[in-house]
Chains A and B, each alone.
Chain A
Amino acid sequence: MPFDAITVSLLLAAAVRLGAPILLAALGELVSERAGVLNIGLEGLMLFGAFGAVLGLQHSNDPVIGLLCGAGSGLAAAIMLGVAEAVLRADQIVTGIGFNILAVGATSLLRQVALNGSYNAPDLRAISMLRIPGLDHLPIVGRAFFMQSPVLYAAVVVAVLLWLMLRFTRLGLIIRAVGEGAEAADAAGISVTLVRFGAMAFTGLCAGVAGSYLTLVASGGVFVDDAIGGRGYLAVAVVIFSRWNPLWILLASVLFGFADALQYQGQEIGLDISPSLLLMSPFVLALVAWVLMGQGNAGPSEIGQPFVRGRK
């Protein structure tokens, strides 16, 4: 099959769609990391969000309420994680991994107790598709950029706002200060614990929306065990790959989505590459990102380190 305009259009649209949950989660993760918290528990936060969204949908039959419930679930889960990591200063890596394992078991149990397995979801178009009149029929880019979920458009706006906030506002300065030098920020009268806790709560909110996107927009209102499938880890990699810049996160998410989409479109158009090799491409990118983490000095210098006053 030729690599024609339709193929490019489909590939680009799939890249944007598959990158959307990663983008949403990565924007949340960015704020945590900027404040010095390496939130490995992102996968678990997304999972709680995904579950909460379907629970909300089943009880309300309203996708918008489902989305809000998903965001709320992510926030509630992040508060628990924030207490452990920001307030009690537990090891961020160990706690995050433990939290992800807990999330898989807890949401599986909750699914059996609280979700209706034979539930038929209502029309989800209110949150799954928004056509931009006049632009949606543009060749190649119309389908990719102007026929997407309103949640994705909102994420683009949030990315721009985050860039402005981190670069030009006092709040942005405080968050960066806490991530770059918690001791100095503490000496200047900033509550490092409060800032990190707030950053993690924001991460939970974004991760909840990301999980909701996955179950409501991408999976038609169905929650399955371990529904996130590693996307939380990819989002952490995207933040590193983007050198902690929200605008680069927009592009990196599409790049990761592209790698994901290439797996399938490559098979569909008959690329002579083993599907197994194509399937591993997003994770190869993630590996590159993790390696890059040790290079250069673009990252917050205190990332991953619990703040204990007077420890140095």
Chain B
Amino acid sequence: MGKPTYTIARRRFVGLSLGAAVVSGTALSARRALAADQVEVAGIFSGSVTQGNWDPPGYAALAKMAKKYGFKSSYVENTADEAAAAVMRQLAARGVQLIICHSSGFSAAIEDVAPQFPQTQFVLYSYASTTGGLKNYTAWSVNWDQYGFIAGATAAYASKTKHIGIVSGGEIPSEKRSQQFFIKGAQYAAPGITVDAVYTGSFTDIAKAKEIATGLIARGADVLIPSADLADVGTQQAAGENGALTLGSYIDQSKDYPDAVITSTVLNFDASYDQMGALMVAGKLDGTIYEEDLSNNGWGVVTPFLHTDPAVQAKVLDLMGKIGKNQLNIE
């Protein structure tokens, strides 16, 4: 028995082929139109989005925002400040409509690139004192002065020896300013307190941070403030291993160092990124600087405080309330 054969008339074949082509073409153009309508957002990060306590929560907030608003998202990590402008140009030229820069170090690059791409919205998260009058450069600016003041005061209130240490990264302007406000906060909480402040020269060298922190503890500091991004791990390890106390930064780190972390100063990444997405959808990103401070819950601390007298938490929360209501000038 031979195999059955199937035949199709030439005219019908041509008709079917044309029909299929029209249907596929329509579907393709519809898909292209949909893709063209979909907003594309890209994040630029100074470090790795899988390491540390600054970039990973920022990346997670970006991903949540993109999913919620139906944006197509991508990211570039480990971007040096001097490379940021080139990365932004490349993304903007590719058609990305919203570029979010997760570091204050990128502000100069935005001011340079944004005027060349007026159809692209640029957003900075961290700190900005100006957006240069640009309508397509909007910023979410954390009040780091308040942040530093409260961290310094917390360490001072918790210190039994009235001797604390600060382990900072590079000696750059933002770090210097942070140190100033750590010290102001500590001296407000405990006038006459001894504050040892040291720069490691690196934001990634854990071994150096740990060595410095160990030295500070040996000199009598019983509470350490970490301020060196990725290298903070070294400070927190040293505190945990030598019976001293420390603070978590940006996210709740009490589980990582359960014997050492009093509390963590936490930023509200999710809320800020969500606001960026909502304003983008509404077409209302317009060059405004959105302050993230204690008056609007832009950041806060994790409660309850651990390893300290309950009075420490009460004093810190009271201080935060006063600053949030402008009842205390920290300058």
Contacts and interface: CB of A to CB of B under 8 A. Distances in A.
A and B co-occur in one complex: yes
Interface of A: 1, 6, 10, 14, 17-18, 21, 108, 111-112, 117-118, 120, 214, 218-220, 222, 224-227, 229, 260-261, 263-265, 267-268, 275-276, 279
Interface string B183-217: 00000000000001111111011111011100110
B114 interface: no
B51 A225 contact: yes
Nearest to B49: A112
A173 B38 CA distance: 71
B51 A111 contact: yes
B318 interface: no
Contacts of A279: 171, 199, 201
A222 B210 CA distance: 12
A182 to B, nearest CB: 38
Contacts, number: 87
Contact of A229 (B205, B219, B233): B205
B233 A275 contact: no
A264 B200 contact: yes
Contact of A224 (B210, B215, B218, B230): B230
Contacts of A222: 206, 233, 237
Interface residues of B, number: 31
Interface of B: 48, 50-52, 78, 171, 196-202, 204-208, 210-212, 215-216, 218-219, 230, 233-234, 237, 241, 256
B206 A10 contact: no
A261 B215 CA distance: 10
B211 A112 contact: no
A218 B198 contact: no
Contacts of A260: 208
A253 B230 CA distance: 26
Q: Would you call the interface of chain A mostly helix, strand, loop, or mixed?
A: helix
Contact of A268 (B196, B206, B256): B196
A117 B60 CA distance: 15
A10 B211 CA distance: 10
A219 B199 contact: no
Contact of A14 (B51, B171, B215): B215
Contacts of B212: 264, 268
A303 B206 CA distance: 34
A117 B201 CA distance: 24
B207 A224 contact: no
A229 B215 contact: no
Nearest to A105: B78
A219 B207 contact: yes
Contact of A218 (B200, B202, B211, B216): B211
A7 B211 CA distance: 14
Contacts of A17: 211
Most chain A CB atoms below 10 A, which of B208, B210, B241: B208
Contacts of B52: 224
A218 B210 contact: yes
Contacts of A6: 218-219
A222 B234 CA distance: 9
B215 A10 contact: yes
Given A117-B51, A218-B210, A267 B199 contact: yes
A10 to B, nearest CB: 5
B114 to A, nearest CB: 29
Contacts of A224: 51-52, 204, 206, 230, 233
